[in-house]
Amino acid sequence: ARCQCKIAPREQRNCGYPGISAAACRKAGCCFNASVPGMPWCFAPKPKKVRKFCPTDPHARRNCGFPGITAKECERKGCCFRAHPAGVPWCFYHRMMEE
């Protein structure tokens, strides 16, 4: 993402090799900016920010437990717990969303 490439020149970590093209740099998953002399033109992007959340749609739940699991047992596994509605997993995995 473009916002991952907004990095101060002094914080850029080299991600390529001398003479790398913009296309080859981007194909490697890196950022390219040749406008700052003396700094890497091909550099590593900022890590993606990811947020975990419990899905609100009961039918989007992916089972993380077993029948009869308690809320504490479920949460110890690092999963979400909602004891309703019937017919869907009550202990289920988080979903991830990029910010």
Tens-place pLDDT, residues 72-95: 999 999 999 999 999 999 999 999
Considering the domain boundaries, does residue 14 fall inside one?
A: yes
Contact 75, 87 (CB under 8 A): no
Number of domains in the chain: 2
- Domain membership of residue 18 (yes or no) is yes
Report, as ranges of residue numbers, the positions in the chain whose pLDDT lies below 50: none
- 75 within a domain of the structure (yes/no): yes
Residue 79 maps to which CATH number? 4.10.110.10
- Domain assignment of residue 30, given as a range: 9-44
pLDDT of residue 1: 63
Closest CA to 23 of 11, 12, 14, 32: 32
Q: What local confidence, expressed as pLDDT, does residue 13 receive? A: 93
Q: Quick one: pLDDT at residue 99?
A: 63
User: Is residue 2 included in any domain, yes or no?
Assistant: no
